Amino acid sequence: MTDLQDVVDSVYHDLADRIGEGKLADYIPELATIDPKQFGIALVTTDGTVHAAGDAETSFSIQSISKVFTLTLALGKIGDGLWKRVGREPSGNAFNSIVQLEQEKGKPRNPFINAGAIAVADVVLAGHLPKEAIGEIVQFIRHLADDESIAIDHNVARSETQTGYRNVALANFMRAFGNLNHPVEHVLGVYFHHCAIAMSCRQLAHAGLYLASAGRNPLSGGSVVSSSRARRINALMLMCGHYDGSGDFAYRVGLPGKSGVGGGILAIAPGKASIAVWSPGLNENGNSLLGSAALELLAQRTGWSVFGQ
């Protein structure tokens, strides 16, 4: 099968019977109110052509997928200095685990587990008020997606601020080790708000295009990062983007990917396309169940795994 729209349609069609499978991320009360029977796919090729199916225009909470964009901003600010604060190794633990943080003296394993993303938020916050840092992140994502309508879902941000006790614990732990430079409430304000950004699959696939195009975003026109930085962000997504499910995702899909507990996944086929899938039901690792299945079929049918056909 060569026509990409046919591939996207066939993936949607073959999984349509399973829409609604998986478990909502009910530890964030606002996410427990989402209708689980939704499923969207959007694929944007490096020349900007869009192929979509299902609920590809419906906004959802991008949650941890936002960590790809905050990592990109933090690397832009302090470059390799970031790696003094955050590691580059898979954690083999759940996204909100605290166990390694004590053994490794407050240095999170990677920028995609919650602790690592909280340290990244601290870097983005430097020299700003929290609302300025949040504004910078939203503006960056709007620029990448070439879409000014992208915004924060304030109900989700409030819900997480009220119930994010584990993140408060992680942040305090890092602050005790001297790995946060700003007050915990400020850093978490930035973190909770960037996790609460709402986007559709189509917007998200657009925003990720720089990672598929050697650091350039053909839609917004310019260079976002160098090609070597894009390659490295992809490497981190491949190794760490699905937490303790990263090995399984690499085995089944073979593409750099970043999941979020809102049920979205951004996957990158370098040189070919940026792909966003969304279905709110999660598997046991907190990754979209149908979204992972969709990417597995898509990778099979396009032959796009980074490990060869």
> Catalytic residues, which ones?
64, 67, 191, 243, 261
What b/e readout covers 186-224, taking b as 16+ CB neighbours within 10 angstroms?
Answer: bbbbbbbbbbbbbbbbbbbbbbbbbbbbbbbbbbbeeeb
Structure tokens at 35: 């209708």
| Min dist. Cβ of residue 260 to ligand GLN (A) | 4
- Distance between CA atoms of residues 59 and 207, nearest Å: 14
Tell me if 8 sits within 8 A of 41, measured CB to CB: yes
Residue 95, interface with ligand GLN (CB under 6 A)?
A: yes
Q: Is 160 annotated as a binding residue?
A: yes
Sequence-separated (6 or more) residues with CB below 8 Å from residue 231 = 214, 270
- Nearer to ligand GLN by Cβ, of 91 and 167: the residue is 167
- Nearer to ligand GLN by Cβ, of 89 and 148: the residue is 89
- Distance between CA atoms of residues 210 and 234, nearest Å: 11
Residue 234, interface with ligand GLN (CB under 6 A)?
A: no
- Distance between CA atoms of residues 30 and 198, nearest Å: 13
Give the torsion through C-alpha atoms of 254, 75, 190, 158, to 10 deg: -10
| Min dist. Cβ of residue 121 to ligand GLN (A) | 11
Q: Is 213 annotated as a binding residue?
A: no
Residue 69, interface with ligand GLN (CB under 6 A)?
A: no
Task: Report phi then psi at 176, rounded to 5.
Answer: -65, -30
Count of residues of this chain found to bind ligand GLN when the rule CB under 6 A is applied: 11
Applying CB under 6 A, among 10, 58, 93, 96 the residue interacting with ligand GLN is 96
Q: Is 185 annotated as a binding residue?
A: no
Regarding beta strands 40-45 and 50-54, do their DSSP bridges make them parallel or antiparallel, or are they unpaired? antiparallel
Residue 261, interface with ligand GLN (CB under 6 A)?
A: yes
| Min dist. Cβ of residue 62 to ligand GLN (A) | 8
| Min dist. Cβ of residue 283 to ligand GLN (A) | 12
Cross-strand partners of 151: 198
Q: Is 243 annotated as a binding residue?
A: yes
Applying CB under 6 A, among 45, 59, 63, 302 the residue interacting with ligand GLN is 63
Residue 114, interface with ligand GLN (CB under 6 A)?
A: yes
Q: Give the residue nearest to ligand GLN (CB).
A: 64
Total number of residues shown for the chain:
309
| Min dist. Cβ of residue 35 to ligand GLN (A) | 19
- Distance between CA atoms of residues 297 and 193, nearest Å: 33
Q: Is 64 annotated as a binding residue?
A: yes
Identity at 84, one-letter amino acid code:
K
131-190 residues in contact with ligand GLN (CB under 6 A) are 160, 167
Applying CB under 6 A, among 45, 64, 97, 217 the residue interacting with ligand GLN is 64
- Per the annotation, binding residues for substrate are 64, 114, 160, 167, 191, 243, 261
- Per the annotation, binding residues are 64, 114, 160, 167, 191, 243, 261
The residue ranges that bind ligand GLN (CB under 6 A) are 63-64, 95-96, 114, 160, 167, 195, 260-261, 286
